[in-house]
C-alpha cells in the first residue's frame, strides 16, 4: 500500500525524522488556511499523487510541473488553484494521468547539499538494507548504473537491529561531520525504527538535504507498506486513498480477486498468480495484448467468477476474453457452471475462449458445450491463446 | 528415490482442525500419505477422523513428533500465527517444515529466517503449494503429498520440478504425465520475497539425487533466485534442465499476485532472467505450454532418458 508524501512526512515527524514544516489542503478554502500556518516567504507547492516524476510532469491543460517553487504565499495560492482538480501526467502515471485532489505546501528550504537515503528489503540476504548516496535529488537507478561506487549499503541483522557502527559507517561514507553528522545519525536511526515498526516495504528520502544551519531534513518522502502486515496496522490502513486506485481493482479486492488493469484488449481470467502472469505472456507471444492480470485464486466460487466477468467487462478496451483454468483441487465443472451463469447474467457479446484442464475437466467441457453459448474451447494454453488473438484481430 | 521426502515419510499437520487444513489432510490421506498427527493448540487428545483414518491431535509440535515419530510438518496456520508455527517446528527439531500459508508479513519471515539459520529444520515456503513425491499406485497413489497440490496429476518417475508458482507447477507436471514422463519430487518453494528453501537449494538436491534424471525450473519476475540457480547449474549440473519465467508482460513496480513477483530493476525482469538461462545452457520453454517439451529437447541433446 502506498501513501502520499504529506502523509509520509506526518509519519516521519511522529518518529523524529525532521521534515520542513508543511500543510496539506484539498479545497481553495483549505489552501488559504493551510498557507496561514506557514511563515511568509518562498513556498513550495506539491501536487499529491502516488506516482513519481511529479516535478517534470505536465497537467492535461498544458500547465507544467507538479512541484513548484513560489516566491510568495500569494503566488503559492494561485499555483495551488491551478493544480487542484487538474490531471497530472508523469512518466509513472501513464497517459491518462492522475487527478490531483490534494496539494501540499511547505516552506522552501535553503539547500546546502542533496543526498539519497532509503530502507527496503534485500531479497538476497533477507535482511533490511539501508541505501545511502551523496548523489541526491536525481534518479538513484541512474546513479547506481553510472557510478555504483557512490551507492553505499549496510545490511541490518534482524536479530539485533541497526547497530551504531553501521550508522557511523554511513555517516562517514556520506562525508558528514559536526552537527550534520550528529543530526544525520539521529535521523537514520529514527527512520529505521519507522521502517521496522510500521512494517514498511520501503521508505525513501530523495533528496535528503543538509542546510547552511547544519540541519538534516527529508525534503521528499516516499513510503510503501507490506500489504500482508496491514492487519496489524489500522493506523496505516486509515491512510489509504481510494482516489489513487483503479476502481476496478478496488471492486476486485472486495471479492478477494487479484486484478491489475493493463492497457491491452484481451481480458484474462485465470486461477493462480504464476499461471495468470504466464497467460498474459502467452497472449503477447501470439501477437495479442493482455487487458489485465486476474487471479481468481485456488478456490473460486460461482459468485467470484460472475464478479470477475463484470470487472473485466467494465474495461471499455476489452475486445475478447480468455479463461484459463487449471483445476488442481478445484472442480472444473463448478467453474464451467460459473462461467455459463456469468455469461448469461452479464449478456456477453464478445468472443470468449475457455481452456479448462485438470480435475473433472471432461464434465466441465461438456457443461460448456451443452450451454449453447457461443464460446470457443481451447485444448492447451497455447491453443487457447492463439484462438483468442485470432478472434480479436 | 526422491529428495527431502519419500512415500513413507511421516507427516504432521499444523492447523489440522481449520477448514483449509482439514480439507487437504483428507486429500492427503486419500492419496495414501502417512499423515500421523495433527497439531491444534487446545485440542490435544482429540482425533481427526476421515473414513477409516483416525489421526491423533496434539497441543504442540514437540508432543506430536515425540508420540508419532513425525519428521515433517505441513503448516496451514493463518498468517498472523504462521511465523510462530514455523518456529515451533524448528524448536521441535523436525527435518522439514512446509509452510502453505499465504500472506505472512515479510517482517515475520525476515525474523524467522534469521532464527532458523544453523538450525536442523529446513523450511519450504511460505505461500507455496507444498511438495509431492508420487507413489507407485494408480494416479500416483501411495505417494507423499504435503500441501495443496493435486495428487492425481503426478506419476512416479525421474523428473524433478521446482517452482515459485502453484498452478504453473501443476501445468508442468500435467504436461510431463501426459507424455508418460514421471516425476521424482515436485517442490513448490513459494511466491514470497523471503522464503526458506531457494531454487538453488532444490537444484542442488536434485543434482545429487541419482533417481532424478532431468529438472524443470519454473520462476517469475522479481529477485535474483533464478539467476543464482542458473549460474550454479552452468558450473555444476550435468543433468538436462528446462526453464520457464513468468511475467514477461508484467508492468514494473506492480505486485503480480505473489508478494515476490514484482519488477524492481533491470536485473529481475523476465527478459533478463531468460537471457541468463540461455547463457547457462538451460533450455527455455517459449510458452508455458512448452515446459515438458523443452525438457525433452534438453534431454535429447544430452542423450538422457527421462522415463
Task: Work out the angle between the directed axes of helices B166-178 and A273-285 (0-180°, nearest 10).
Answer: 70
Nearest to B287 among A271, A272, A381 (CB): A381
Would you give the DSSP letter of residue A230?
Answer: G
Helices assigned H by DSSP within chain A: 5-14, 28-36, 73-83, 140-146, 164-174, 178-197, 234-237, 247-254, 273-285, 302-313, 332-346, 361-370, 381-392
Lowest mean pLDDT among A284-298, A333-347, B191-205: A333-347
What average pLDDT does range A296-316 have in this prediction? Answer: 86
Please say whether the beta carbons of B41 and B67 come within 8 A: no
Give residue-wise pLDDT tens across range B181-229.
999 999 999 999 999 999 999 999 999 999 999 999 999 999 999 999 9
Residues A332, A286 share a domain: yes
Q: Closest by alpha carbon to A18, among A97, A86, A109, A142?
A: A109
Phi, psi angles (nearest 5°) of residue A267 = -80, 150
At A177, list the grid cell. 561531520
**Is the same domain home to A221 and A152?**
yes
Of residues A372 and A391, which shows the higher confidence score? Answer: A391
Are the beta carbons of A358 and B174 separated by less than 8 Å? yes
Give the Cα separation of A361 and B102 in Å (integer). Answer: 27
List CB contacts (< 8 A) between A128 and chain B. 110
Boundary (domain end) residue, out of A237, A261, A286: A237
User: Residue B246 and residue B260: Cα distance in Å, rounded?
Assistant: 12
**Cα separation of B108 and A26, whole Å?**
37
**pLDDT at res. B251:** 87
Beta bridge partners of A69: A44
**Residue ending a domain, choose from A212, A237, A262:** A237
pLDDT at residue A360 in the model: 85
Average pLDDT of span B237-250: 96
User: Domain count of chain A?
Assistant: 3
Render the burial of A256-292: b for 16+ CB within 10 Å, e for the rest.
ebbbbbbebbbbbbbbbbbbbbbbbbbbbbbebbbbb
Say how far residue A197 (Cα) sits from the centre of its chain.
21
Q: Which three cell numbers stand for residue B196?
A: 526458506
Indicate the average pLDDT of chain A.
Answer: 94
| Facing A228 at nearest CB: one of B106, B168, B253 | B106
A360 φ/ψ sector (left φ>0, alpha ψ -120 to 50, else beta): left
Could you tell me if B57 and B39 are in contact, meaning their C-beta atoms sit under 8 angstroms apart? yes
- For strands B72-75 and B10-14, give the pairing: parallel
Alpha-carbon separation of residue B219 from A282, B4, B185 (angstroms): 15, 21, 17
The mean pLDDT of B77-90, rounded to a whole number, is 98
Q: CB contacts < 8 Å between A and B, how many?
A: 171
The answer to whether residue A16 is domain-embedded is: no
Q: Do A232 and B105 touch (CB under 8 A)?
A: yes
> Nearest C-alpha of chain A: how many angstroms from B117?
11
Last residue of a domain, one of A237, A254, A272: A237
Tell me the per-residue pLDDT of A96-150, one tens digit each, with 9 for 90 and over.
899 999 999 999 999 999 999 999 999 999 999 999 999 998 888 888 889 999 9
The confidence score (pLDDT) of residue B263 equals 79
Task: Indicate whether this model's pTM tops 0.80.
Answer: yes
Segment A256-271 mean pLDDT: 93
HSE of A174 in the Cβ direction (CA atoms, 13 Å)? Answer: 34
Residues of chain B positioned with their CB less than 8 A from the CB of A281: 246-249, 270, 287-288
CB contact under 8 A, B265 and A272: no
Catalytic residue list contains A204: yes
Residue A185 Cα to chain centre, angstroms: 29
Please indicate, yes or no, whether residues A212 and A259 belong to a single structural domain of this protein.
no
In the block, cell 517446528 appears at: B89
The CATH number of the domain where A211 resides is what?
Answer: 3.30.470.20
Residue in this structure with the C-alpha cell 527439531, named with its chain if needed:
B93
Of B193, B228, B249, the CB nearest to A280: B249
Residue pLDDT, tens place only, A307-338: 999 999 888 999 999 999 998 777 888 889 88
Q: Annotated catalytic residue: which of A6, A104, A116, A259?
A: A116
Structural domain includes residue A201: yes
Handedness of CA A252, A228, A242, B252 (dihedral sign): negative
User: A56 in a domain, yes or no?
Assistant: yes
Same-domain pairing of A323 and A386: yes
Q: Rounded to an integer, what distance in angstroms lies between the CA atom of residue B214 and that of residue B295? A: 7
Distance CA A340, CA A352 (A): 11
* Interface probe with B: pick from A92, A144, A274, most Cβ of B within 10 Å: A274
The pLDDT value recorded for residue A117 is: 97
CATH code at A97?
3.30.1490.20
Q: What is the pLDDT of residue A52?
A: 86
Set of chain A residues whose Cβ sits within 8 Å of the Cβ of B166 = 272, 274, 298, 328
Across the interface, do B246 and A278 touch by the CB < 8 Å criterion? yes
Subunit contact A274:B223, Cβ cutoff 8 A:
no
Q: Is residue A207 part of a domain?
A: yes
Handedness of CA A207, A213, A215, A218 (dihedral sign): negative
**Given this model, what pLDDT does residue A386 score?**
97
Do A221 and A258 share a domain, yes or no?
no
A220 vs A53, A208, A264, CA distance in Å?
12, 7, 34
Nearest CA in chain A to B256: A273
Hey, are the CB atoms on A228 and B288 less than 8 Å from each other?
no
Rounded Cα distance, B124 and B145, in Å: 14
Do the beta carbons of residue A266 and residue A320 sit within 8 Å? yes
Q: Which of A118, A196, A257, A277 to mutate to test the interface with B (most CBs of B within 10 A)?
A: A277
Q: Are residues A343 and A365 in the same domain?
A: yes
Hey, are the CB atoms on B287 and A278 less than 8 Å from each other?
Answer: yes
Residues A352 and A374 in one domain: yes
Residue A276 maps to which CATH number? 3.40.50.261
Contacts of A323 in chain B (CB under 8 A): none
How many C-beta atoms lie closer than 10 Å to residue A174's C-beta? 24
Residues A222 and A355 in one domain: no
Average pLDDT, chain B: 95
Distance from CA of A211 to the nearest CA of B (A): 32
Shortest CA gap A219–chain B (Å)? 23
In Å, the largest CA–CA distance within chain B is 57
* Boundaries of domain holding A255: 246-392
Assess contact for A314 and A292: CB atoms under 8 A: no
pLDDT digits (tens, 9 = 90+) for A75-107: 999 999 999 999 999 988 888 899 999 999 999
Contact B105 A228 (CB under 8 A): yes
Element (H, E) at A133: strand A127-133
Residue B267 is predicted with a pLDDT of: 80
pLDDT of A56 reads 92
Co-location of A254 and A377 in the same domain: yes
B48 CB-near residues (< 8 Å, 6+ apart): B13, B16, B17, B22, B25, B38, B54, B55, B56, B57
Whether A185 is covered by a domain: the verdict is: yes
Q: How many residues does chain B have?
A: 307
pLDDT-derived band at A384, boundaries 50, 70, 90: very high
Q: CA-CA distance, A364 to A181, in Å (whole number)?
A: 68
In-domain check, residue A5: no
CB B299 within 8 A of CB B238: no
Q: Give the mean model confidence (pLDDT) for residues A156-165.
A: 97
Can A116 be counted among the known catalytic residues? Answer: yes
Residues of A in contact with B290 (CB under 8 A): 382
Q: Give the range among A75-84, A234-243, B51-60, B244-253 with minimum mean pLDDT.
A: B244-253
The complex's ipTM works out to: 0.93
Q: Which of B130, B60, B121, B125 is nearest to B96 (CA)?
A: B121
Element (H, E) at B277: helix B270-279
Q: Are residues A328 and A270 in the same domain?
A: yes
Strands B156-163 and B144-147: unpaired
Residue A187 is predicted with a pLDDT of 98
Nearest CB among B80, B103, B150 relative to A358 is that of B150
Closest residue, chain A, to B194 (C-alpha): A126
Cα distance from B43 to chain A (closest Cα, Å)?
26
Q: Is the pLDDT of residue A196 over 90?
A: yes
In angstroms, rounded to a whole number, what is the distance separating the alpha carbons of residues B3 and B16?
25
Q: First CA to last CA across chain A, in angstroms?
A: 37
Residues A216 and A184 in one domain: yes
CA distance, residue B82 to nearest chain A CA (Å) = 12
Would you state the cell numbers that stand for residue A145, as one nine-digit string? 548504473
Say yes or no for a CB contact (<8 Å) between A275 and B103: no
Residues of A in contact with B169 (CB under 8 A): 274
Quote the pLDDT of residue A167. 98
Per-residue pLDDT band at A298 (split at 50, 70, 90): confident
| Residues B174, A357: C-beta atoms closer than 8 Å | yes
Q: Determine whether the interchain pair B165/A295 forms a contact, defined as Cβ–Cβ distance below 8 Å.
A: no
pLDDT at residue B212 in the model: 97
- Sheet of B53-58, strand order: B47-50, B53-58, B34-39, B10-14, B72-75, B96-99, B122-124
Residues of chain B with Cβ-Cβ distance to A284 below 8 Å are: 248-249
Same domain, A268 and A351: yes
3-state class (DSSP) for residue A221: coil
pLDDT at A104: 98
Sign of CA dihedral B86, B88, B89, B91: positive
For residue A92, what is the DSSP state?
Answer: T
Mean pLDDT of B48-57: 98
Residue A142 lies inside a defined structural domain of this protein: yes
Please report which helix (H) or strand (E) contains residue B27, including its range. Answer: helix B19-31
Is A291 inside any structural domain? Answer: yes
Report the alpha-carbon distance of residue B301 to residue B283 in Å, rounded: 10
Amino acid at each position: 500500500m502506498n501513501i502520499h508524501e504529506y502523509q509520509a512526512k506526518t509519519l516521519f515527524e511522529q518518529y523524529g525524522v525532521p521534515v520542513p514544516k508543511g500543510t496539506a489542503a484539498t479545497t481553495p478554502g483549505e489552501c488559504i488556511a493551510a498557507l496561514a500556518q506557514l511563515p511568509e516567504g518562498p513556498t513550495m507547492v506539491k501536487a499529491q499523487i502516488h506516482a513519481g516524476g511529479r516535478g517534470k510532469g505536465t497537467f492535461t491543460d498544458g500547465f507544467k510541473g507538479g512541484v513548484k517553487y513560489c516566491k510568495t504565499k500569494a503566488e503559492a495560492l494561485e499555483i495551488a488553484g491551478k493544480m487542484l482538480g487538474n490531471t497530472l501526467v508523469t512518466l509513472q502515471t501513464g497517459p491518462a494521468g492522475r487527478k490531483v485532489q490534494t496539494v501540499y505546501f511547505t516552506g522552501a528550504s535553503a539547500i546546502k547539499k542533496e543526498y539519497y537515503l532509503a530502507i527496503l528489503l534485500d531479497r538476497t540476504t533477507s535482511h533490511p538494507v539501508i541505501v545511502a548516496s551523496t548523489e541526491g535529488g536525481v534518479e538513484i537507478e541512474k546513479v547506481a548504473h553510472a557510478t555504483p561506487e557512490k551507492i553505499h549499503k549496510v545490511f541490518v541483522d534482524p536479530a539485533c537491529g541497526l547497530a551504531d557502527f553501521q550508522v557511523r559507517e554511513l555517516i562517514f561514507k556520506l562525508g558528514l561531520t559536526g552537527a550534520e553528522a550528529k543530526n544525520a545519525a539521529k535521523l537514520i536511526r529514527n527512520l529505521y525504527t519507522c521502517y521496522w515498526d510500521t512494517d514498511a516495504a520501503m521508505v525513501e528520502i530523495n533528496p535528503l538535504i543538509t542546510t547552511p544551519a547544519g540541519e538534516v531534513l527529508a525534503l521528499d518522502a516516499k513510503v510503501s507498506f507490506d500489504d500482508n502486515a496491514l492487519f496489524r496496522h489500522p493506523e496505516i490502513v486509515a491512510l489509504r486513498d481510494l482516489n489513487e486506485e483503479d476502481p476496478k481493482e478496488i471492486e476486485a479486492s472486495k471479492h478477494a480477486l487479484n486484478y491489475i488493469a493493463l492497457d491491452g484488449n484481451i481480458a484474462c481470467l485465470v486461477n493462480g498468480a504464476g499461471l495468470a502472469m504466464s497467460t498474459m505472456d502467452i497472449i503477447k507471444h501470439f501477437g495479442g495484448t493482455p487487458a489485465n492480470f486476474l487471479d481468481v485464486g485456488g478456490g473460486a466460487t460461482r459468485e467470484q467468477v460472475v464478479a470477475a466477468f463484470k470487472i473485466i467487462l467494465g474495461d471499455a478496451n476489452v475486445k475478447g476474453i480468455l479463461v484459463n483454468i487449471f483445476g488442481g483441487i478445484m472442480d472444473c465443472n463448478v467453474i464451467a457452471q460459473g462461467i455459463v451463469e456469468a455469461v448469461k447474467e452479464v449478456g456477453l457479446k464478445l468472443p470468449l475462449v475457455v481452456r479448462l484442464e485438470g480435475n473433472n475437466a471432461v464434465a466441465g467441457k461438456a457443461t460448456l458445450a451443452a450451454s449453447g453459448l457461443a464460446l470457443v474451447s481451447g485444448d492447451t494454453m497455447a491453443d487457447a491463446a492463439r484462438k483468442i488473438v485470432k478472434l480479436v484481430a | 528415490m526422491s529428495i527431502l521426502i519419500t512415500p513413507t515419510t511421516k507427516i504432521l499437520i499444523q492447523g489440522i482442525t481449520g477448514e483449509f487444513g482439514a480439507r487437504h489432510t483428507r486429500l492427503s490421506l486419500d492419496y495414501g500419505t502417512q499423515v500421523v498427527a495433527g497439531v491444534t493448540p487446545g485440542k490435544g487428545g482429540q482425533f481427526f477422523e476421515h473414513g477409516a483414518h483416525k489421526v491423533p491431535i496434539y497441543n504442540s509440535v514437540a508432543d506430536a513428533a515425540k508420540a508419532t515419530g513425525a519428521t515433517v510438518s505441513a503448516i496451514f496456520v493463518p498468517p498472523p500465527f504462521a511465523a510462530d508455527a514455523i518456529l515451533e517446528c524448528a524448536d521441535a527439531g523436525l527435518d522439514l517444515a512446509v509452510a502453505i500459508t499465504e500472506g505472512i508479513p515479510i517482517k515475520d519471515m525476515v525474523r524467522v529466517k534469521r532464527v532458523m539459520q544453523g538450525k536442523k529444520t529446513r523450511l519450504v515456503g511460505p505461500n507455496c503449494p507444498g511438495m509431492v513425491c508420487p507413489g507407485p499406485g494408480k494416479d500416483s497413489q501411495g505417494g507423499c503429498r504435503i500441501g495443496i497440490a493435486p495428487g492425481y496429476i503426478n506419476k512416479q518417475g525421474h523428473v524433478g520440478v521446482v517452482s515459485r508458482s502453484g498452478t504453473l507447477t501443476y501445468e508442468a507436471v500435467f504436461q510431463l504425465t501426459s507424455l508418460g514422463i514421471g516425476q521424482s519430487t515436485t517442490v513448490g518453494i513459494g511466491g514470497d520475497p523471503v522464503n526458506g528453501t531457494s531454487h538453488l537449494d532444490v537444484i542442488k538436491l536434485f543434482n545429487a539425487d541419482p533417481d532424478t534424471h532431468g529438472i524443470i525450473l519454473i520462476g517469475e519476475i522479481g529477485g535474483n533466485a533464478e539467476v543464482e540457480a542458473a549460474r550454479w547449474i552452468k558450473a555444476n549440473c550435468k543433468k538436462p534442465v528446462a526453464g520457464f519465467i513468468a511475467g514477461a508482460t508484467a508492468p514494473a513496480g506492480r505486485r503480480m499476485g505473489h508478494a515476490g513477483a514484482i519488477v524492481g530493476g533491470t536485473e529481475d525482469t523476465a527478459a533478463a532472467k531468460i537471457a541468463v538461462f540461455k547463457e547457462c545452457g538451460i533450455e527455455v520453454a517459449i510458452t508455458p505450454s512448452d515446459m515438458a517439451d523443452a525438457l525433452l529437447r534438453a534431454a535429447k541433446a544430452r542423450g538422457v532418458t527421462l522415463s
